[in-house]
Amino acid sequence: MNTIITSGIVLYKNDLKMLRNAIQSLLRTNSIFKLFLVDNSPTNELKVLVTDSRIQYIHNPTNPGFGAAHNQAIQKALQLGSKFHFIVNPDIRFEGNIITPMVEYMLNDATIGMMMPQVLNEDGSIQNLPKLLPSPFSILRRKINKPAVVYQKFINEYELRNISKEVIYNAPVLSGCFTLLNLDAIKKVGMYDDAFFMYFEDWDLSRRMHQHYKTIYFPKVSVVHEYESGANKSKRLFMIFINSAITYFNKWGWFFDSERKKINNEALSQFK
């Protein structure tokens, strides 16, 4: 495959062992032409991770945010002539070459703008990350998760939990923990919105991408994600989450959003 494939990981005072697992997972395949490590940490201590000629380290001590840092890597990828770019969280790892199957699937369908694999917990259980477009009630219900019967019916539909685990489908929202971007599509819909410091930037990009391209869940390959749900444990992160939610709904509409209803109905109609 002669297509240039790049990847980016945004760092912030992360554990070195965890980061090395993510980097090794990507670089052992030989499919990645360049890996950008964009470090938002106050110091450049993580520069010790540059142990391969394919790694380019970028230091952002002012910490512009998750999406803004990934945009720097995407810009550099575009300058290199990259066709496909992987957004990867520091807490991701995987075995074997999952890069090639994902890229080949996207190469065979130019209408795909964005794709994510199946994402697993460390115990092998599936993280339910593809979603319908959220309403403010969706976010609130997911946090409260009671009463149990009502919540279960809601979450099964919202997170598409009843869909067969082997089905490839077009999901309105994909998680940013591991995402393959078609950079031709990014040129059309734009990169991450810098208005989101952290949280919701992947949902916002998914929605913009979904308006023009397929946003595909591809469970034929999988990665492990050490999901920590920081917003549920840290008051500071929870406030960032709330601010990003407000930014998202101010942008797309709070309770009146006819496009949201249309897109969600179209997504659900795939499975009838």
Residue 217's pLDDT is what?
98
How many domains would you assign to the chain?
1
3-state secondary structure 116-140: EEEEECCCCCECCCCECCCCHHHHH
Residue 132's CB is within 10 A of a number of other CB atoms, namely: 20
Residue 140's pLDDT is what?
87
Residue 71's pLDDT is what?
97
Look up the CATH number of the domain holding residue 191: 3.90.550.10
CA–CA distance, 228 with 22 (Å, rounded to integer) = 16
Residue 128's pLDDT is what?
93
Residue 228's pLDDT is what?
62
What the block records as the tokens of 108 is: 């065979």
What is the block-wise mean pLDDT of the chain (272 residues), using blocks of 10 residues?
90 93 93 96 95 95 95 97 97 94 96 97 93 92 80 92 94 96 97 94 96 97 80 77 93 90 94 84
Smallest Cα–Cα separation from 210: which of 147, 131, 135? 131
- Those residues whose C-beta lies under 8 Å from the C-beta of residue 113, and which sit 6 or more positions away, are 181, 182, 185, 186, 189, 209, 210, 212, 213, 214, 215
CA–CA distance, 62 with 42 (Å, rounded to integer) = 7
Characterise 250 by phi-psi region: left (phi > 0), alpha (psi -120 to 50), beta (else).
alpha
Query: For residue 34, what are the domain limits?
Result: 5-269
CA–CA distance, 43 with 147 (Å, rounded to integer) = 46
Residue 144's pLDDT is what?
81
